[in-house]
């Protein structure tokens, strides 16, 4: 696109096109950086959930999830809790919460006895709605 730069009849023309090559280069570099760093941003605990054929439960509030790892370590929101302190901590947490519901996410290699003991401690803390988190069973 050419435009004249002054009076009529002068032979000079000014080009007003934008060079997009540097912009494309910067965008490609940013894309590569985000593609490399995105998998590193995932945080969490490695557990293997059991698979069942049951359907999921919908909830309107942020769920409270208690995780039992393969090494029988109990965590809530990334914070480790000792099994002996579980009842006291849960009572304090759920004292002001209107929805007394908890989701238990246990690794499938944890023995049933430990999960049952944990559920008993949850019930002793006054929480009667306990949901077990599983993965859907494959075909």
Pairing assessment for the beta strands 79-81 and 74-76 based on DSSP bridges:
antiparallel
Supply the pLDDT for residue 9.
Answer: 55
Q: Which of 27-36, 45-54, 89-98 has the lowest mean pLDDT?
A: 45-54
Per-residue pLDDT at 28? 95
Domains within the chain, CATH numbers bracketed: 2-41 (no CATH), 51-136 (3.30.420.270)
Residue 44 has pLDDT above 80, yes or no: no
CA distance 76 to 103: 10
Q: What percentage of the chain exceeds 70 in pLDDT?
A: 78
Give the SS3 label for residue 24. helix
**Looking at the predicted structure, is the pLDDT value of residue 4 above 60?**
no
The residue behind tokens 């009076």 is 7
């Amino acid at each position: 696109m050419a435009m004249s730069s002054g009076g009529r009849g002068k032979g000079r023309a000014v080009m007003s096109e934008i060079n997009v090559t540097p912009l494309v280069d910067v965008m490609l570099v940013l894309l590569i950086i985000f593609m490399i760093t995105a998998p590193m941003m995932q945080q969490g605990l490695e557990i293997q959930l059991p698979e069942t054929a049951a359907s999921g439960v919908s909830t309107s509030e942020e769920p409270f999830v208690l995780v039992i790892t393969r090494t029988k370590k109990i965590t809530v929101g990334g914070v480790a809790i000792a099994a002996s302190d579980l009842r006291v901590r849960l009572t304090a947490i759920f004292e002001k919460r209107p929805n007394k519901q908890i989701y238990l996410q246990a690794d499938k290699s944890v023995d049933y006895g430990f999960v049952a003991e944990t559920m008993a401690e949850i019930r002793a803390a006054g929480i009667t709605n306990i949901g077990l988190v599983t993965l859907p069973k494959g075909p």
